[in-house]
Chains A and B, each alone.
Chain A
Amino acid sequence: MRIVSKRANTAHVTHWHINMQLKAMKDIHSKIEKTGLTKLIEKFRECKTAAEEREFINRERAHIRNEINYSTTKEKAEAIIKLIWMNMLGYETEFSQIECMNALFSDNFELKSMGYLGLTLFLSEESEVLMMATNRIRIDLKDSANDFSQALALRTFSEIADSAMVHELAKFVKDLLQTGSKYVKKKVIMSLIRVLNKDPSFADELLDLYPPLLSEKNQGLLLCVLQLGQKLLKLRPGLSKSVASRLEPLYATMKMLCSRYESNYSVNGVNDPFLQCAIIEFLKDVALLEESTIPDFSTQVLLVYNTVQNSGTNTARCLLYQVARSIMQVTSTAALKKIAIAILGSFLDLKNKNFLFVSLNMLLFASTRYREEISKHDKIILKCAREKDFSIKKLAIQILRNISNAENSAEILSILAGQLSQETSKLRVTELLGIAVSVLEKHSNSVIVAVDRYFLILGVLRIGTGDHLLENLFDLVQNSKGVQMVFAVKCLLLMSVATAREKETLLKICFWGIGEFYGLLIRVVGVRKGCCELD
């Protein structure tokens, strides 16, 4: 009996110990995991009504406001992040701007970074507090001993700098371009883009400094350099000459990315697609300004095309789209243009609507100049014209209009008639009608064929949508004496058809035709018996 009770006691003690340990672990876990913000969000989510939420936020906000002056640096940083979260939910947190400003002057990095983060979110270019931040940013920019402070200041500058701040600090930012830290250099370049946005005349100061930057190897840094280059080329096209002579490193980078080497930034088997896209875009901009670089540009895009053309991934397709887009914009050879059209044509087979849209958009751009090449894809484009999505349908129809000829115009018009009969929106009907009329006027080889096509299009329209086209048809018939009699007889016959009687647009044509050419109907000819069963 004693042994049993002793065993029971031991088991009880063990159980108690385990419970205590679990409790201690839970406490530690909650201390580690749950920051002040996490708790705040949890409590906010427990609120059942919007009124409760508002009351909770008001209470918390008042609490932070009262306590923030007596808090430690860690608590202050936590308070700022809470205020940022409240602001993101749409609640007013006016006093937080000053708290962020105070945080900038702290030596504690955590608090300082919160202060800068808050500054970018709470302040805009119009804010008056921004002037107070300028001095602090200048001090941090000059703090060469601390890369992180410089980076924080630069990031904030690139987000919120207004013209006055740019005027004050642009030179300091430019001086930092000589820094050895890639991390800071990247932020400097982002800040310089902001400077150029606010003060385009500053571009002159960067003309000599920019070309050496193209030799950078760091992925993130090179992406920023290319973006800055595009901005500079837009502002100072003359820079293209010095840039053109410094493109070798970019070609080398491109060659490396297209080789079998696998970079850290590989996506779906494609080496750093973002950098590849940026390089192609940049080379295109240079080629547009400097014709001597077009052959090299062609080599680079062909290299990319050959590397990714057989990869069926979306990443590869995005890269191919970038290649096609760049080729289309540069005055490159016809063979290269054919490749671009082939790329875009291959996208038309995909079910993905985004690819369909972008490729149709690009084909529309090219359809006026490369009619024959695009005509090879006319079957797929015709299929796209039957899509439910109106934006895709409209693009396909616009391409069809551009590539239409005497042979396929009948098919295009029958598709248009089908679309017009289904369409309910007046605006879309007007757009489709405009396209239909331009096709029939362009490719009808005789007046009577044009008249027939007018009947086809106007016959499917709903009430009140095609009245403006009647004048076109009437003018056409009035000016062609040879078809007037046939037209009048056609009106007579059409009036006897039951379906035509329900279409007011057709009836208007019939009434006009019979009235206008009644003299011809009664004097010159009649209609074979049985053809005109009007009753």
Chain B
Amino acid sequence: MLGKDVANSIEVVPVNEERLFSALTRFDLSKFNNLTVYYFLNCLSKIHLKTERNEIKLKVIDFLRRVQSGKVKMTNIARVKAVEIRLMLELDEEKRKEVFDEVPQSSLPEIFAQ
């Protein structure tokens, strides 16, 4: 695919953020290695920071929450990274405390052992 073709296909049509987000979150992250998941989570955090729509921000946070709770299959290292990113995105101190309370204590040694 050449850059020229891509350039020709561009029109002033807004990107559908919902569709992009749902496409991103549909990847089976358990198949990827940690570095790829790291890129993926960073992508989500950038979307959170750059989007102007609150519902997209909430969707990102919700997705990270699902990662943290184990509903989205991922390695433990990636889960720690997800928590980290969520902490960064929710800088409010109260929220941060809440996030810490949500991390299952029993799994912490297992997480950090890796």
Contact = CB atoms under 8 A, between A and B. Distances in A.
Q: A and B: real partners?
A: yes
Given A464-B33, A518-B51, A534 B43 contact: no
A489 interface: yes
A300 B17 CA distance: 77
Interface residues on A, range: 35 or more
Interface string A485-529: 110011011111000010010011001101110110110011111
Contact of A516 (B6, B12, B46): B46
B42 A515 contact: yes
Contacts of B15: 492, 521-522, 526-527, 532
B6 A486 contact: yes
Contact of B20 (A467, A492, A504, A516): A492
Interface in B1-60: 1-4, 6-7, 9-17, 19-20, 22-24, 26-27, 32-33, 35-36, 39-40, 42-47, 50-52
A455 B3 CA distance: 11
B9 A522 contact: no
Secondary structure type dominating chain B contacts: helix
A535 B10 contact: no
B30 to A, nearest CB: 13
Interface residues of B, number: 37
A280 interface: no
Contact of A493 (B6, B24, B27, B33): B6
Contacts of A483: 3
Contact of B1 (A452, A508, A519, A522): A452
Interface of A: 448-449, 451-452, 455, 463-464, 467, 483, 485-486, 489-490, 492-496, 501, 504, 507-508, 511-512, 514-516, 518-519, 521-522, 525-529, 531-532, 534-535
Given A490-B3, A508-B39, A514-B47, 16 more contacts: A463-B33, A485-B10, A490-B1, A490-B6, A492-B15, A493-B1, A493-B9, A507-B32, A508-B35, A511-B39, A512-B42, A515-B45, A515-B47, A518-B50, A528-B11, A534-B20
25 contacts: A464-B33, A483-B3, A486-B7, A492-B15, A493-B6, A495-B23, A501-B27, A511-B39, A511-B40, A515-B42, A515-B46, A515-B47, A518-B47, A518-B51, A519-B50, A522-B17, A525-B10, A525-B12, A526-B12, A526-B15, A527-B9, A528-B13, A534-B20, A535-B22, A535-B23
